Amino acid sequence: MSISFRRSGGFRQYLIPLIFVLIIVITVVARASVFTIDEATQAIVVQFGAPVGDPVTEPGLHFRIPFIQEVRKFDKRLLSWDGDPNQVPTVEEQFISIDTTARWKIVDPLKFLQSVQDEAGGRNRLNDILDSVVRDKIASSPLVNIVRSKDWEVTEEDLQRTMTGEREEEILLQKVETGRGEMVRDILKTAQQQMPQYGIELVDIQIKRLDYVESVQQQVFERMIAERQRIAEQFRSEGQGRASEIGGETERMLAEIESEAQKEAEIIRGEADAEVTRIYSEAFGSDPEFYSFLRTLESYSESLGESVTAILSSDSDYFRYLKSEAPAPDADQSPKEKETEKQQN
């Protein structure tokens, strides 16, 4: 009886740790047998690398065989793709740098897993497809279709704000056959045709940045500088022409004023001469002798100076007032007084 009791007591001694270990194993197995999916996630159960069953797309608790099957989860939301900037030639063989971005999502996780494995593989595949499609469309399109919309009407303000040269002005004024929006839609449509085999849906694609390559940029900058210099020279030329016009107008006005002044002066001078002639005529009519004396004195003043030597005959009538002892006629005497004085002499 003592031996049986000892054996029974030893079994109970190991029973509690055994139960504890069993609970732990059951818990681990139970946790490994279930997995959860939320609203933004979808999953594929994989056994030894091969998909098992249909994709799990409903949120909630799901089961799998523990330690044999694993779960590959994929995002159901929209994902973004940003391509690297590429240098692409246009149909005019002008190289431009283009940077594109796109939005995509995984619509068939089974095909996605079988073709590209994970999101990194999906982005790599998008790099190959989108870069190729964008390059082909850009290379077959004129630059004006890439930079302008079909319904954009160019105004004079647009030309003044963006004018950098004859080439850029030509692009702005050129008629657009398709336009940037239609070209982007064409890129999207072409790329979407290649996506179903990878379980991907391409939602949209946009041109994020478009610019000339560095070498072409330098040429554009040089054209901009030359164009600005041409405009500045045009302004200077117009200013000089306007200045010449104003100067000519000023000179014409001054000439008119001067001519008018000379005309007025000639009129005044003529009136003065006429008045002098009238006075002389009156003086001659009233006293011819005094008039002759006055005119002779004026002639002396004009013809004889300090350094003038005149050789004339002493009998010359020109010097009759210089050699005459008789007094000169008095301008203050009246004609009657002069006649009386002459009779007395």
Instruction: Output the pLDDT for position 220.
Output: 66
Mark whether 57 and 155 lie in a shared domain: no
Contacts of 260 (CB under 8 A, 6+ apart): none
Question: At residue 206, does pLDDT exceed 70?
Answer: yes
Rounded Cα–Cα distance for residues 46 and 72 (Å): 7
Mark whether 63 and 103 lie in a shared domain: no
Instruction: Output the pLDDT for position 127.
Output: 93
Rounded Cα–Cα distance for residues 233 and 226 (Å): 10
pLDDT range class, residue 4, cuts 50, 70, 90: very low
Residue-by-residue DSSP string for 167-226: HHHHHHHSPPSS-HHHHHHHHHHHHHTTSGGGTEEEEEEEEEEEEE-HHHHHHHHHHHHH
Domain boundary among 179, 194, 212: 212
Instruction: Output the pLDDT for position 114.
Output: 92
Closest to 332 in 3D by CA, of 285, 299, 283: 283
Give burial (CB, 10 Å; 0-12/13-18/19+) of 46. Answer: middle
With respect to residue 260, please indicate whether it lies within any of the assigned structural domains.
Answer: no
With respect to residue 291, please indicate whether it lies within any of the assigned structural domains.
Answer: no
Mark whether 70 and 83 lie in a shared domain: no
Least confident of 10-19, 97-106, 194-203: 10-19
With respect to residue 131, please indicate whether it lies within any of the assigned structural domains.
Answer: yes
Domain boundary among 179, 212, 245: 212
**Token output for 222:** 């040089």
C-alpha R_g of the chain: 59
pLDDT range class, residue 326, cuts 50, 70, 90: very low
With respect to residue 146, please indicate whether it lies within any of the assigned structural domains.
Answer: yes
Instruction: Output the pLDDT for position 22.
Output: 86
Least confident of 65-74, 185-194, 269-278: 269-278
Mark whether 8 and 133 lie in a shared domain: no
In the predicted model, what is the mean pLDDT of the chain? Answer: 78
Query: What is the DSSP-derived secondary structure letter of residue 279?
Result: H
Mark whether 89 and 67 lie in a shared domain: no
318: three-class secondary structure by DSSP:
helix
CATH number at residue 86: 3.30.479.30
Length of the chain equals 345
Q: Average pLDDT in the 33-52 region? A: 90
Q: Could you tell me which residue, 24 or 333, shows the higher pLDDT?
A: 24
Least confident of 35-44, 60-69, 94-103, 214-223: 214-223
Mark whether 154 and 193 lie in a shared domain: yes
With respect to residue 35, please indicate whether it lies within any of the assigned structural domains.
Answer: yes
With respect to residue 162, please indicate whether it lies within any of the assigned structural domains.
Answer: yes
pLDDT range class, residue 8, cuts 50, 70, 90: low
Find the distance separating the first CA and the last CA of the chain, reported in whole Å: 213
With respect to residue 296, please indicate whether it lies within any of the assigned structural domains.
Answer: no
Looking only at the bridges linking them, the beta strands covering 69-75 and 50-56 are: unpaired
Domain boundary among 193, 212, 231: 212
Question: At residue 195, does pLDDT exceed 90?
Answer: yes
Instruction: Output the pLDDT for position 86.
Output: 85
Domain interval for residue 39: 2-75
With respect to residue 63, please indicate whether it lies within any of the assigned structural domains.
Answer: yes
pLDDT range class, residue 5, cuts 50, 70, 90: very low
Closest to 328 in 3D by CA, of 283, 281, 294: 294
Contacts of 83 (CB under 8 A, 6+ apart): 99, 100, 101, 102, 127, 130, 131, 134
Convert the pLDDT of each residue in 100-129 to its tens digit.
Answer: 999 999 999 999 999 999 999 999 999 999
Mark whether 87 and 205 lie in a shared domain: yes
Mark whether 208 and 83 lie in a shared domain: yes
Residue-by-residue DSSP string for 93-144: S-EEEEEEEEEEEES-HHHHHHHH-SHHHHHHHHHHHHHHHHHHHHHTS-HH
Instruction: Output the pLDDT for position 157.
Output: 57
Mark whether 41 and 113 lie in a shared domain: no
Mark whether 58 and 83 lie in a shared domain: no
Number of domains present in the structure of the chain: 2
Mark whether 201 and 158 lie in a shared domain: yes
Q: Could you tell me which residue, 73 or 275, shows the higher pLDDT?
A: 73
Mark whether 109 and 194 lie in a shared domain: yes
Q: Average pLDDT in the 148-175 region? A: 55
